Amino acid sequence: MTVRVGVIGAGWIGLEHIRRLTDTVTGAKVTAVTDIDAARAEEAAARVGARVLADGAELIVAEDVDAVLVTSWGPTHAEHVLNAIAAGKPVFCEKPLATTAEDCLRIVEAERAHGRRLVQVGFMRRYDAGYRQLKEVLASGGIGAPLIVHCAHRNPTVPKAYTSRMAAQDTAVHEIDVLRWLLDDEIVSAQVLRPRATTNRFPHLTDPQIMLFETANGVRIDLEVFVNCQYGYDIQCETVGERGLVRLPDPAAVTLRTEGVSGSAVLRDWKDRFADAFDTEFREWIAGIAAGEEPTGPSAWDGYAATVITDAAVQSLESDSEVVTVDMKPRPAFYAGRASTGGVA
Ligand SMILES: NC(=O)c1ccc[n+]([C@@H]2O[C@H](COP(=O)([O-])OP(=O)(O)OC[C@H]3O[C@@H](n4cnc5c(N)ncnc54)[C@H](O)[C@@H]3O)[C@@H](O)[C@H]2O)c1
């Protein structure tokens, strides 16, 4: 069975995913595209022989759309996801699921009322081979109970439009999701510290930031977010347990020795770092739909959790580094009994 996908939002990541679904993933075909910028929709659709539809509402109910991909701007996600649930169609929503906790809960409630998982949120790190190896070690008890996690998320530079809040909302949100999954634990508090600021930043931006999280089991997480580090795109994650530690591998790169120096290149671009993870994410999403199964990737509940935890981090940043308790509702049994692991234990 070929899964016919309708895409809402033909911007940067929409085009990437259209290319991925067309060239890399088997069993999928993009049949419809919409964008509030009609020229973008036309161009994207023409490349893959899809038709252009007027808006998200029309695309979601179209007969030649089996599944919906939402890659529009964050504040528009909730409306499209709710419409897809109302139509009973699987929907992959790029992060964030919604920009407010209230909208995330509306989606959770709608999906629960539908009685079957339809929503998957685009937290692709769960599909990265290195993180999956980390998960296997932790889940098998290989280092005993995890106690402390040290993480860093560094970008070479960011554009002027990037704000201090985005360090939590757009950058740390990936660690927040992947750590909840890796540890199989919930984040209960957040605190954001401001170290000495780099001079390589726009004056409005607090950079770097140190984010401290605590989990329900008492694990402490420190995350350095440094988005103007200059030297490259660098993701680090080391979990210390009772009997050892496990570290995320760096991307494979040759070691070069020349002119008295030994070393290897550091990636410059996050797209290169997670390209394989995006491919795996979409292969598994499409294969699940073709098999008539519920999605197993990050759920609407995970999307809600990420939003309330990032809200807590933003509140801490803006309240002079107060420790903020995460205001999360209890997880409904509907989600407790369903996989949201991306196929890994
Ligand atoms: N998983 C990741 O690592 C990752 C990476 C990049 C972007 N994203 C997410 O993907 C989303 C899109 O990001 P982007 O970088 O492609 O942005 P973008 O601005 O390049 O593209 C968004 C597109 O959506 C269109 N659009 C906006 N509202 C619409 C609506 N209601 N209906 C139809 N089209 C609409 C815009 O015209 C634009 O073409 C964001 O939510 C972003 O956070 C996730």
Give residue limits of the domains in the chain.
3-125+276-299+330-336, 129-268+305-325
User: How large is the average pLDDT for residues 88-116?
Assistant: 98
Summarize pLDDT for 319-336 with one digit per residue, the tens: 999 999 999 999 999 998
Nearest ligand 1 atom to alpha carbon 79 = 31
Per CATH, the architecture of 3-125+276-299+330-336 is what? 3-Layer(aba) Sandwich (3.40)
Give the mean pLDDT of the chain: 96
Residue to probe by mutation, ligand 1, list 72, 82, 83, 270, most atoms within 8 Å of CB: 72
Ligand 1, atom 5, lies closest to the CA of 13
Q: Which CATH homologous superfamily contains domain 129-268+305-325?
A: Dihydrodipicolinate Reductase; domain 2 (3.30.360.10)
Nearest ligand 1 atom to alpha carbon 76 = 31
When pLDDT is cut at 50, 70 and 90, the band that residue 52 belongs to is: very high
On the question of pLDDT at 271 being above 90, the answer is: no
When pLDDT is cut at 50, 70 and 90, the band that residue 316 belongs to is: very high
Our CA angle for 173, 101, 220, nearest 5°, is: 40
Cα–Cα distance measured from residue 283 to residue 26, given in angstroms and rounded to the nearest whole number? 7
On the question of pLDDT at 345 being above 50, the answer is: no
- State residue 1's pLDDT score: 84
Ligand 1, atom 19, lies closest to the CA of 11
Which region among 218-222, 242-246, 264-268 has the lowest average model confidence (pLDDT)? 264-268
Q: Contact 33/4 with Cβ under 8 angstroms?
A: no
Q: Which residues line ligand 1 (CB under 6 A)?
A: 8-14, 34-37, 40, 56, 71-74, 76, 94-95, 122, 124
- State residue 69's pLDDT score: 99
Summarize pLDDT for 157-203 with one digit per residue, the tens: 999 999 999 999 999 999 999 999 999 999 999 999 999 999 999 99
